[in-house]
Chains A and B, each alone.
Chain A
Amino acid sequence: AQSVAQPEDQVNVAEGNPLTVKCTYSVSGNPYLFWYVQYPNRGLQFLLKYITGDNLVKGSYGFEAEFNKSQTSFHLKKPSALVSDSALYFCAVLPGGYQKVTFGTGTKLQVIP
């Protein structure tokens, strides 16, 4: 069975500094990986996904993520954090072929002015 781990419940970063939100996964075969963001009282919004190809994926709002197969990781990154990036971030995995998608428990990102 597949699983996703987001080891940090909360990440604090100063505005303007680079940010990283960590995600590791466990799945058989080649995974499809996703990042979603959730603002208070709103549904999840898609940020980016890795299906195949280049390990560095660029997404919405200046975010990017790097797929690392050997470390089974898919960390979310942004070169310069904004206060408006403060939200809850979810990593999700979908094994190759059909199985249900599995979400991590989420990481709260707090960008400090």
Chain B
Amino acid sequence: EAGVAQSPRYKIIEKRQSVAFWCNPISGHATLYWYQQILGQGPKLLIQFQNNGVVDDSQLPKDRFSAERLKGVDSTLKIQPAKLEDSAVYLCASSLGTSGSFQETQYFGPGTRLLVL
């Protein structure tokens, strides 16, 4: 079974530029998550989708971050404009989520490491 795919793996940009990350979840997984992991910290949930609907985006800085999952499969996370403090690893995860049971195991992708200069 293929895992969660993310691209790019690494990205270096200057502050005020924009950047986009892509995630392809495990086939059949209804729930998709984006996390931000700053060096030395645990992952922080940014946004959670159930199919193509947003379940929770309370910790997403909406003035600069946006995410979409238009067809309920792939997802993109965008930052515009980027700030220095956005330097982090952005992790995508997915879970079956078919019954709305949020105790289901999440499967993580390798992450995208972003450096903002």
Contact = CB atoms under 8 A, between A and B. Distances in A.
A105 B45 contact: no
Interface string B86-105: 00000101000000101101
A90 B56 contact: no
A49 B103 contact: yes
A106 B102 contact: no
B106 A98 contact: no
Interface string A34-68: 10100001111110010100000000000000000
Contact of A105 (B41, B93, B102): B41
For A43, A46, A90, the residue with the greatest tally of chain B CB atoms inside 10 Å of its CB is A43
Contact of B110 (A43, A90, A102, A103): A43
B103 A51 contact: yes
B103 A43 contact: no
A36 B110 CA distance: 14
Nearest to A90: B42
Nearest to A46: B105
Contacts of B110: 41-43
A12 B7 CA distance: 34
B108 A100 contact: no
Please indicate which of the listed interface residues B4, B41, B106, B109 has the most CB atoms of chain A within 10 Å of its own CB: B106
Interface of A: 4, 32, 34, 36, 41-46, 49, 51, 90, 92, 94, 98, 100-106
23 contacts: A32-B102, A32-B103, A36-B108, A41-B110, A42-B110, A43-B6, A43-B108, A46-B105, A46-B106, A46-B107, A49-B103, A94-B103, A100-B56, A100-B59, A101-B45, A101-B102, A101-B106, A102-B42, A103-B44, A105-B40, A105-B41, A105-B42, A106-B40
